[in-house]
Structure 1
């Protein structure tokens, strides 16, 4: 799992970072299915957490579990630097959101090369909410990557609802469309929505984080079933 290291927003003193539930929901979905998880980030160490995601109204069951899980907290506080990650050692990639990826992961060549290594090796790449921003740099390196691909991410309508449009460098939905993606979103903002297109699995918003992980697990389990002649 690759997490953002970025906490600053534009035109405001408000902070951002990882949206906690978008990390904890997938983390425990994968952990409970027996997968080993390595956490990484551009700067390594403790990623910033969006303070709004820790408010009571945004807490999920997995957030509470995380608060009582010293092992998970230690893993989160000691993420590996991206340049120390060897994609060959892993079966899949997951990119949680929070607004932070709009700045760092979207412009991080190491992250982009990791994404492309997984994708071009036939390994699934999953991302949720603003996590798909990491695909922007990957498209710069491999321009056809998103052409016609069904994807989702935090929508322009949702950005307006959370009133962050003036505090971000661009709207992710618009940028993904510009890069050739076939963008789809739920009819009702802030409801769960997941798109699966081959190896690319994307979720729209915080409520989509767990379902995105479940779709990734389904893809991994399908790959594990031996083919019959």
Structure 2
């Protein structure tokens, strides 16, 4: 049977009080999607609200020369425009091999505090499934407690969008929290990052896989495939 992965997209489309749109970030789903499909994965996509999960328009412009992103944008719109409601996946982790959360600033506002998302990811983790995210996607992990009361990230190396990268984007003030700080706290001081902003960084901590930024998206997809196939 084909491996099956649940992708959780944000339903949040407004960037704090800036008036700018946000959502999920194109290459952070496009590149892993290529890896999933080439490995024969069945990809199921859900979001808190269901329906159209907002794609950050800035990511379309920024990655208009990126072949993977352009192909995904042109050929696969129905994947994110017709997402299933996330709550319908509670109690269904046995059907899947992994869960993956792409970044974009949206998850900072909804998935970080969404009880349904937290419940599903905790369930995947407690069943020994691969739990993964890239860039701002690990925001979905910052408030997750496992059934034994431990934090999902406790004692595990983890990465995600760094404070320096957020500062370079001039968006730190628009964020509800700084992701690096929260991930560092949740893991017990185990946050790691690339030597330079925008450098590729992927961390595999058992079944928890995280990537730092858009440059890490393809390698995150590869790491997920490897973890699932080795399971």
Q: 3-state DSSP class of the match of 1:7? A: coil
- Runs of at least 4 residues off by over 2 Å: 56-60, 139-145
How many pairs align? 221
> Does residue 152 in structure 1 map to residue 139 in structure 2?
no
Query: Where in structure 2 are there 5+ consecutive unaligned residues?
Result: 1-6
Q: 3-state DSSP class of the match of 2:97? A: coil
Does structure 2 conserve the Cα–Cα contact (< 8 Å) formed by 1:148 and 1:180?
yes
> Does residue 170 in structure 1 map to residue 174 in structure 2?
no
Going from structure 1 to structure 2, the CA distance change for 1:57 and 1:67 (only over 3 Å counts) comes to closer
Spell out, residue by residue over 1:169-227, the C-alpha distance to the aligned partner (whole angstroms, 9 max, x if none). Answer: 1100001112234100001110110000001000000111110010011111111xxxx
Does structure 1 conserve the Cα–Cα contact (< 8 Å) formed by 2:146 and 2:152?
no
Q: 3-state DSSP class of the match of 2:132? A: strand
Counting only pairs closer than 5 Å after superposition, residues 20-35 of structure 1 correspond to structure 2 as 20-35=26-41
Indicate the structure with greater helix content: 1
CA distance, structure 2, for counterparts of residue 145 and residue 57 of structure 1: 32
Counting only pairs closer than 5 Å after superposition, residues 50-65 of structure 1 correspond to structure 2 as 50-57=56-63, 59-65=65-71
Q: What is aligned with 1:103?
A: 109
* Match of residue 84, structure 1, among 88, 92, 108: 88
Does structure 2 conserve the Cα–Cα contact (< 8 Å) formed by 1:158 and 1:190?
yes
> Does residue 3 in structure 1 map to residue 45 in structure 2?
no
CA distance, structure 1, for counterparts of residue 74 and residue 22 of structure 2: 23
CA distance, structure 2, for counterparts of residue 140 and residue 119 of structure 1: 8
Provide the TM-score with structure 2 as the length reference: 0.91
- Compute the displacement of 1:34 (Å): 0.4
Q: What is aligned with 2:226?
A: 218
Counting only pairs closer than 5 Å after superposition, residues 170-189 of structure 1 correspond to structure 2 as 170-181=177-188, 182-189=190-197
CA distance, structure 2, for counterparts of residue 59 and residue 140 of structure 1: 41
Q: 3-state DSSP class of the match of 2:13? A: coil
Does structure 1 conserve the Cα–Cα contact (< 8 Å) formed by 2:209 and 2:224?
yes
Q: What is aligned with 2:3?
A: none
CA distance, structure 2, for counterparts of residue 56 and residue 179 of structure 1: 31
Does structure 1 conserve the Cα–Cα contact (< 8 Å) formed by 2:158 and 2:187?
no
- Compute the displacement of 1:79 (Å): 0.4
Spell out, residue by residue over 1:6-47, the C-alpha distance to the aligned partner (whole angstroms, 9 max, x if none). Answer: 011223111110001111111111011100000000000111
CA distance, structure 2, for counterparts of residue 118 and residue 209 of structure 1: 21
